[in-house]
Amino acid sequence: MKKDLHPSNYRLVVFKDMSNDYAFVTKSCVDTKETITWEDGNEYPLVKLEISHTSHPFYTGKMKLVDTAGRIDKFRTRYNKK
């Protein structure tokens, strides 16, 4: 393997779905400034998600998608025919 190819900050991180408060711990090297105390009492970096497998319409079977940031309107204005 090549030396210094992989990131050095690979650690446990909590990902939290903000639409339904579902959270899970996995390894990642994503940069974040927020932390959270997990069920085991340890403090981990926190990454807030808008959507996860517990709230995505494909996985839940519900065709309801909450547009929290106005993404559809931004898309329409960006690609509006001139």
pLDDT at residue 13, as a whole number: 94
Give the count of alpha carbons within 13 A of 41, CB side only: 0
User: How far is the CA of 24 from the CAs of 39, 44, 54, in angstroms?
Assistant: 10, 11, 11
List per-residue pLDDT tens for the chain, 82 residues long. 678 887 888 899 999 988 888 899 999 999 999 999 999 999 999 999 887 777 766 555 665 555 556 677 777 777 876 5
pLDDT at residue 65, as a whole number: 55
The answer to whether the predicted template modeling score (pTM) of the entire model surpasses 0.85 is no
Which H or E run includes 71? helix 71-78
Q: What span, in angstroms and rounded, lies between the C-alpha atoms of 77 and 4?
A: 43
pLDDT at residue 74, as a whole number: 73
Amino acid at 82: K
Cβ–Cβ < 8 Å for 44, 36: yes
